[in-house]
């Protein structure tokens, strides 16, 4: 792969978005089928999902000690030569090995606190091994991102999704129980690793150490590290608290984790593929404020509009969705699921602002926002969990992510120029009107058979929301579509 930025970054970015969104449609569909099958096959043991979620919390906690923002630093670094690649790989590998050895050493001190989860220690060890394999994947993925090779990344994600669909439900059907969830994770890592490491192989891994580069990575990454530590705490403290609190425990965490898992599909449809493309693009455009402003506005406006639509669909169809796809046994998570939809609308938007500020070299702003969120979130989780259980924890997550989004978007104006009114105004109005009309029609939906009501809402909500946007933003939507179509199909000039 070429180490120089492409001649036409905008064209690569839009094509990358198309690759990522197209592959995302496949992986999301496969992932939904997999998650649904796993929920149905393991419905009698929701605590299995709680145990694996808690194990992943401790794995992530240990990983934070070995994650000094090296990937973000490498993407931000303007030179991507062999010395930078080898130094980045060596530093990342050393930090990851150290953190995993630390986790293995403290497992005997963790498990006594979870007498009702006797398999927790073995599950942590299994995930530890999977994480070491993932380290090699992550290095190559960062290289592909640096080179804007989004098509290859999309295919690798599809390969991992197919493997997980076959292995996870297959093991659950054969009676592997808890270990079917672990096997599912392992199969995804192996499939992606084989494709990236043996077929694409963007870089042949080798050890290297340039002290000047290490110092640069460290100076940049240590600021990212503090921010990512707080991000991890904000993302996973709720899992830890639910799993550790005796009044809640493994079963409650199982419901909570599945509610979050299915709520994330609104984020995965557009936000994840767009974010994966635009962070390296932001880094390449960091010295051109006009182009950076356009890239940020286009990416974020797409996520706002798509996010509002999927938020409406998931919240308003939640009762029918759970009964039809997951079964009656999962109804206790309904309200938690609806509250987590709000979180998954705001979180990727916050991440877009974080990626912009990170790529433009402003990690300190992100750190300040994270400190504020932590000060709100941790007390809110503790207090609201005691009052309302997992629903209270989900509400605390919504309050936290909203506060962070407001702070981060206020600071984006220091880096780029755009209209907040154009970004948020009409989509939020269309969301409010669509939600109000749909709720007013509840007597109509209630009188229909379950499948008919579900299909009716799935048809009515997008038509009303899309129609309102078409009436209010028609020129903007047509211009945007023409621009994207032209960038996708216009031949590159010699």
Other beta carbons within 10 Å of 136 = 18
- 469: which 2 tokens? 């946007």
pLDDT of residue 282: 72
For residue 7, give the DSSP letter. Answer: S
pLDDT of residue 494: 35
Render each residue's pLDDT in the chain as its tens digit; 494 residues: 444 444 455 555 555 555 555 666 777 788 889 999 999 999 989 999 999 999 999 998 888 776 666 666 666 665 656 777 777 777 777 888 888 888 899 999 999 989 889 999 999 999 998 988 887 777 777 766 666 556 677 777 788 889 999 999 999 999 999 999 999 999 988 888 787 777 666 667 777 777 777 777 777 666 667 667 777 888 889 999 999 988 888 899 999 999 998 888 767 665 665 666 666 667 667 677 888 888 788 778 878 888 888 899 999 999 999 999 998 899 999 999 999 999 888 888 888 888 788 777 777 788 788 888 889 999 999 999 999 999 999 999 999 999 999 999 988 888 888 888 888 989 999 999 999 999 999 999 988 999 999 999 999 999 999 999 998 888 766 765 664 454 444 434 43
Angle, vertex CA 163, rays to CA 265 and CA 33, nearest 5: 35
Would you state the structure tokens that stand for residue 104, as one six-digit string? Answer: 């293995």
- Residue 75: the pLDDT is 63
pTM: 0.79
Which candidate, 308, 270, 294, 400, places its Cα nearest to that of 356? 294
* Residues 103/62, Cβ–Cβ less than 8 Å: yes
Gap between the Cα atoms of 85 and 89, Å rounded = 6
Q: What is the CA radius of gyration of the chain?
A: 22
The pLDDT tens digits of the residues spanning 419-448 come to 888 889 899 999 999 999 999 999 999 889
Tell me how far apart the alpha carbons of residues 17 and 154 are, in angstroms, rounded to a whole number: 10
String of DSSP letters for 11-51: HHHHHHHHHHHHHHHHHHHHHHHHHHHHHHHTTT-THHHHH
* Residues 121/111, Cβ–Cβ less than 8 Å: yes
Contact 246, 129 (CB under 8 A): no
Q: Which of 127, 189, 118, 144 is nearest to 1 (CA)?
A: 144
Residues 6+ away with beta carbon under 8 Å from 8? 492
* Interatomic CA distance for residues 63 and 168, integer angstroms: 24
Please state, in angstroms and as integers, the Cα–Cα distance from residue 442 to each residue in 17, 447, 453, 473, following that order.
Answer: 37, 9, 10, 29
Closest CA to 299 of 348, 369, 228: 348
pLDDT, position 492: 40
Supply 72's token pair: 């973000």
Per the CB < 8 A criterion, the answer to whether 370 and 227 are in contact is yes
For residues 349 and 468, is the Cβ–Cβ distance under 8 A?
Answer: no
- In the numeric block, the tokens 């609308």 are attached to 345
- Name which of 63, 62, 85 is nearest 74 in CA terms: 85
Q: For position 6, what pLDDT does the model report?
A: 45
């Amino acid at each position: 792969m070429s180490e120089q930025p492409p001649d036409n970054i905008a064209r690569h970015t839009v094509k990358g978005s198309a690759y990522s969104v197209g592959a995302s449609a496949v992986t999301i569909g496969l992932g939904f089928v997999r998650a649904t099958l796993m929920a149905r096959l393991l419905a009698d043991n929701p605590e299995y999902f709680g145990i694996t979620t808690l194990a992943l919390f401790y794995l992530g906690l240990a990983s934070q000690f070995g994650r000094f923002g090296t990937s973000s630093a490498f993407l931000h670094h303007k030179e991507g030569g062999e010395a930078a690649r080898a130094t980045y790989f060596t530093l990342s590998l050393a930090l990851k090995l150290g953190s995993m050895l630390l986790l293995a050493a403290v497992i005997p001190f963790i498990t006594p606190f979870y007498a009702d989860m006797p398999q927790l220690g073995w599950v942590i060890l299994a995930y530890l091994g999977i994480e070491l394999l993932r380290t090699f994947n992550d290095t190559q993925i960062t290289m592909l991102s640096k080179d804007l090779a989004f098509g290859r990344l999309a295919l690798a994600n599809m390969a991992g999704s197919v493997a997980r669909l076959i292995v996870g439900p297959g093991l659950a059907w054969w009676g592997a129980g808890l270990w079917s969830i672990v096997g599912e994770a392992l199969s995804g890592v192996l499939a992606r690793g084989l494709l990236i490491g043996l077929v694409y192989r963007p870089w042949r891994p080798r050890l290297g150490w340039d002290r000047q580069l290490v110092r640069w990575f460290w100076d940049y990454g240590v600021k990212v590290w503090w921010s990512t530590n707080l991000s991890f705490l904000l993302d996973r403290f709720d899992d830890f608290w639910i799993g550790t609190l005796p009044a809640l425990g493994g079963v409650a965490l199982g419901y909570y984790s599945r509610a979050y898992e299915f709520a994330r599909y609104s984020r995965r449809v557009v936000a994840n593929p767009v974010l994966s493309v635009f962070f390296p693009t932001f880094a390449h455009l960091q010295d051109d404020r006009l182009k950076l402003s356009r890239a940020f506005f286009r990416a974020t406006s797409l996520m706002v509009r798509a996010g509002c639509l999927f938020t409406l669909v998931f919240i308003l169809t939640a009762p029918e969705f759970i009964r039809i796809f997951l079964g009656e046994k999962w109804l206790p998570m309904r309200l938690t699921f609806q509250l987590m939809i709000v979180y998954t609308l705001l979180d990727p938007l916050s991440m877009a602002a974080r990626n912009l500020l990170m790529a433009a070299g402003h990690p300190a702003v992100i750190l300040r926002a994270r400190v504020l969120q932590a000060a709100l979130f941790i007390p809110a989780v503790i207090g609201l969990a005691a009052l309302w259980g997992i629903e209270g924890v989900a509400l605390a997550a919504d309050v936290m992510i909203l506060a962070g989004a407001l702070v981060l978007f206020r600071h984006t104006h220091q880096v780029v120029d755009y209209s907040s009114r154009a970004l948020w105004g009409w989509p939020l109005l269309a969301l409010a009107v669509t939600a109000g009309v749909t709720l007013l029609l509840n007597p109509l939906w209630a009188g229909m058979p379950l499948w008919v009501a579900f299909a009716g809402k799935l048809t009515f909500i997008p038509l009303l929301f899309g129609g309102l946007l078409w009436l209010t933003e028609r020129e903007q939507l047509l211009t945007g579509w023409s621009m994207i179509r032209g960038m996708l199909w216009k031949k590159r000039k010699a």
